Amino acid sequence: MILTVTLNAALDLTYRVPVLTPHAAHRVARVTERPGGKGLNVARVLAALGHETVATGFVGGATGEAVRRLLEESAGPLTDALVHVSGSTRRTVTVVEPAGESPDPAATTLRLATEPTRFDEPGPHITPEEWAAFGERYARLLRDARVVALCGSLPPGVPVGAYAHLVRQARAHHVPVLLDTAGEPLRRGIAARPDAVKPNTAELAALTGSTDPLRAAQDARRRGAHVVAASLGPDGMLAVTPEGTWLAAPPRPLYGNPTGAGDSAVAALLAGWLEGRPWPDRLADAVALSAATVRAPAAGEFDAKTYDDLRDRIRVSPL
């Protein structure tokens, strides 16, 4: 099975409003409620693709119960192995304006208006006992895992070196491990030599100081990651691997709600890993699934038709 870790799970709320006006009252016409946190998005996409997936991490409170109930309703073979904690799972609120959903299809750069407005609660405080309980659960799950993804931010109370620790544990179990996080947890985690990291360009720049994605990805590899797969937003994905360096790009940039696009890319990379496919194929799938997610209403979901249409139309060029 594929194991995903979501230490800071969330109840994701998406609010649709005509226009967001600061200091005004907005009647929300439509509310979408989904399980959230990068790792749960990855798990839902994998399960929907038919892969046996186990989701672990932390969950608590009424919001945590809502997350579990929504996970149960998810499509595919998804097992809930979340660890219950005393605090409450955080909410995230994403405010989407229709103007951002249907920009000029002829536009060739990502319009700022397509970015939704997000509010992220900090998450529950994890006690040392809860962190230890997770450690035991993780070690047990690693025995059956064929690949593991460590995704997203750390809730308060979890040590900043947590991902470095979890990467080393996965490697000790000979389970390939992909890390998708940012900031100091990424900096520490990458030094523990994960099999892959999947930063976006902003995360790469913050890590390496370089705004050139190729240079930054090469630098990130030197810091310890065997593979760096960098998502370039609507322009696709760049991967620096021991077998070569590639750029995978969609036939044209696709617009929509970018939330969860990176998580779908992670799901595709994990599935490709499991199947032992060559990197160019994994990247093409990652870009197609990413674009299909931009076309879906929420993170953790994808538009099956867009995915099928795009899979064979991604240009993968060696660099």
Catalytic machinery residues: 263
**Residue 101 sits in the site that holds a second copy (CB under 8 A):** no
**Residue 112 sits in the site that holds a second copy (CB under 8 A):** yes
**Residue 117 sits in the site that holds a second copy (CB under 8 A):** yes
**Residue 116 sits in the site that holds a second copy (CB under 8 A):** yes
Q: How far apart are CB 15 and a second copy at their closest, in Å?
A: 5
Q: What is the DSSP string of 183-229?
A: HHHHHHHHHT--SEE--BHHHHHHHHS---HHHHHHHHHHTT-SEEE
Residue of the chain from 23, 73, 109, 143 that contacts a second copy (CB under 8 A):
23
d(CA 124, CA 126): 6
**Applying CB under 8 A, which part among 40-48, 50-58, 73-81, 116-124 lies near a second copy?**
116-124
**Residue 131 sits in the site that holds a second copy (CB under 8 A):** no
Q: By C-beta, is 56 or 114 nearer to a second copy?
A: 114
Q: By C-beta, is 32 or 210 nearer to a second copy?
A: 32
Q: How far apart are CB 110 and a second copy at their closest, in Å?
A: 11
Residue of the chain from 84, 98, 102, 118 that contacts a second copy (CB under 8 A):
118
Residues near 79 by beta carbon (within 8 Å), at least 6 away in sequence: 1, 52, 53, 54, 55
Q: Are 249 and 313 in contact (CB under 8 A)?
A: no
Residue 296 is classified by DSSP as S
**Applying CB under 8 A, which part among 26-34, 41-49, 169-177, 286-294 lies near a second copy?**
26-34
**Residue 31 sits in the site that holds a second copy (CB under 8 A):** yes
| Bridging pattern class, strands 117-120 and 90-96 | antiparallel
Write out the two tokens for 219. Answer: 């630098």
**Residue 100 sits in the site that holds a second copy (CB under 8 A):** yes
In 10 A of CB 117, how many CB atoms? 14
**Applying CB under 8 A, which part among 72-80, 118-126, 160-168, 294-302 lies near a second copy?**
118-126
**Residue 109 sits in the site that holds a second copy (CB under 8 A):** no
**Applying CB under 8 A, which part among 48-56, 120-128, 293-301, 310-318 lies near a second copy?**
120-128
Q: By C-beta, is 51 or 91 nearer to a second copy?
A: 91
d(CA 149, CA 55): 10
**Residue 66 sits in the site that holds a second copy (CB under 8 A):** yes
3-state secondary structure at position 289:
helix
Residues near 51 by beta carbon (within 8 Å), at least 6 away in sequence: 1, 2, 76, 77, 270, 271, 274
Residues near 187 by beta carbon (within 8 Å), at least 6 away in sequence: 207, 223
Residue of the chain from 18, 50, 98, 122 that contacts a second copy (CB under 8 A):
122
**Residue 115 sits in the site that holds a second copy (CB under 8 A):** yes
The letter for the amino acid at 263 is D
d(CA 55, CA 35): 11
Q: Are 234 and 250 in contact (CB under 8 A)?
A: yes
Q: Are 89 and 10 in contact (CB under 8 A)?
A: yes
Q: By C-beta, is 91 or 188 nearer to a second copy?
A: 91
Residue of the chain from 29, 75, 172, 319 that contacts a second copy (CB under 8 A):
29
Q: How far apart are CB 50 and a second copy at their closest, in Å?
A: 30
**Residue 24 sits in the site that holds a second copy (CB under 8 A):** yes
Residues that bind a second copy (CB under 8 A): 13, 15, 17, 20-29, 31, 62-63, 65-66, 91, 93, 95, 100, 112-113, 115-122
